[in-house]
Structure 1
Amino acid sequence: MRTRYSFVQILLHWLVFVLVVLTYTTMDIKGCFAKGTPLRELLALTHYSLGFCVLFLMCIRLFVRGMYVTPPVKPALPRWQHYFSGGAQILIYLMFLSLPVMGILSQYYGGHDWTMFNILMPKSVFPDLPLQKLLKTLHEWLANAGYYLIGLHTLAALWHHYRRRDNTLIRMLPSRK
């Protein structure tokens, strides 16, 4: 049985990590510029494109996850930690699949032109501004909650590595070969 995740799983994990950092960063930096300025618009368009990349890679991750058996944690986790870990993973997957979908739908129902990768994207012929506002609010709330979930994920990995001294973190790190 494997002791680490596959190369593809590790690569996808860290690519998603980099994209999530960049996606969050573009929105955080965007707020430093006045509305309507070219740089603010560029940051927003970059955010949309990066968000779509996160969605695309998360879909691939789901597919790839089904192809491999999860390597066991050694020493084995207590049952409650095993369930907590699985629940946290499900939340992370749901978050990074639903955030881009809500963002895309928010733009779609906004009724204004928008682009992704510098390509004009479809917009609803019947804009629904209350729905657009709801989707945007949910998107922003979930993104803010993401800071805590990502922090919990990171702290748990470090706790497993330095305190519990198991292979949880090692399983997802690139090989030293």
Structure 2
Amino acid sequence: MNAAQSPGATRDQRAPDAGGERFARPLIALHWLIALCIIAMLGIGLYMVGLPKGLPFKATVINFHKSLGMTIFLLVLIRIMVRIAYGRPPLPPMGAWQRAAASTTQALLYVAMVGMPLTGYLGSSFNTYGTRFWGILLPKWGWDDARLRHIFFTVHEVIAWTMIALIALHVAGALKHQFVDRDGLIGRIWP
């Protein structure tokens, strides 16, 4: 009898069964809430960059985008703390390349979820408007500087397109596990 089969094996030593263990409920709730907010945020971001300058409605959309972005940032920080507290269930058996791809994609998604609002906030700190968080003006960390603003907003945009690609990869991987591998992986995070 090996460690994966022994009755005294810890959660990390046991081989996961096809259904696998589930993530903790707070992590499931945060996963889907953040996912929906990010999809909305990316849509709003793509929409607002196409609005003409001087349009009064554009300022409202931009302020909503900033507020939602900072809210997502706070939710991501909470998610990181909850994930540390609860851990995650073990992955089902899969090849080393799949395990590496899943870990890399997930790590990059976390980097993007933290980096995107930070670069947006810093970019807004280098203009005259700053960032309003649901109507409350947040402290500015900079001054009116078009060059620095451009750098931060360029990085913000690159992260946005990278996040879109990572989300597509994440969803494709989940669908592969669900419909090709049929290993029950998606059931770990499904509400």
Change (3 A) 1:125 1:79: closer
Given candidates 65, 88, 91, the residue that maps to 1:47 is 65
Corresponding residue number in structure 2 for 1:13: 31
1:102-139 deviation per Cα after TM superposition (whole angstroms, max 9, x unaligned)? 00011012233442211223234643332221001010
Corresponding residue number in structure 1 for 2:124: 107
What is the aligned-residue identity percentage? 29
Confirm or deny: 8 A CA contact 2:125 2:143 kept in the other structure.
Answer: no
Corresponding residue number in structure 1 for 2:76: 58
Corresponding residue number in structure 1 for 2:189: 172
* Shift in Å, 1:141: 1.2
Separation in 1, partners of 2:167, 2:142: 37
Q: Do residues 88 (structure 1) and 111 (structure 2) align?
A: no
Change (3 A) 1:118 1:155: same
1:29-83 deviation per Cα after TM superposition (whole angstroms, max 9, x unaligned)? 2245322222211111111011111110110111111112321233x11222112
Q: Do residues 67 (structure 1) and 85 (structure 2) align?
A: yes
Change (3 A) 1:92 1:123: same
RMSD over aligned Cα atoms: 1.7
Separation in 2, partners of 1:125, 1:142: 21
Map 1:108-127; keep pairs closer than 5 Å. Answer: 108-124=125-141, 126-127=143-144
Confirm or deny: 8 A CA contact 2:122 2:142 kept in the other structure.
Answer: no
Greater relative CO (CA pairs within 8 A, separation 6+): 2
Confirm or deny: 8 A CA contact 1:107 1:114 kept in the other structure.
Answer: yes
Separation in 2, partners of 1:55, 1:94: 11
Confirm or deny: 8 A CA contact 1:99 1:143 kept in the other structure.
Answer: yes
Given candidates 137, 155, 163, the residue that maps to 1:138 is 155
Confirm or deny: 8 A CA contact 2:125 2:142 kept in the other structure.
Answer: no
Corresponding residue number in structure 1 for 2:46: 28
Whose radius of gyration is greater, 1 or 2?
Answer: 2
**SS of equivalent residue, structure 1 residue 16:** helix
Confirm or deny: 8 A CA contact 1:102 1:136 kept in the other structure.
Answer: yes
Instruction: Count matched residues.
Output: 173
TM-score (norm 2): 0.84
User: Any stretches of 5+ residues in structure 2 without a counterpart?
Assistant: 1-10, 12-19
Confirm or deny: 8 A CA contact 2:121 2:131 kept in the other structure.
Answer: no
TM-score (norm 1): 0.90
Letter in 2 for 1:135: F
Separation in 1, partners of 2:142, 2:152: 18
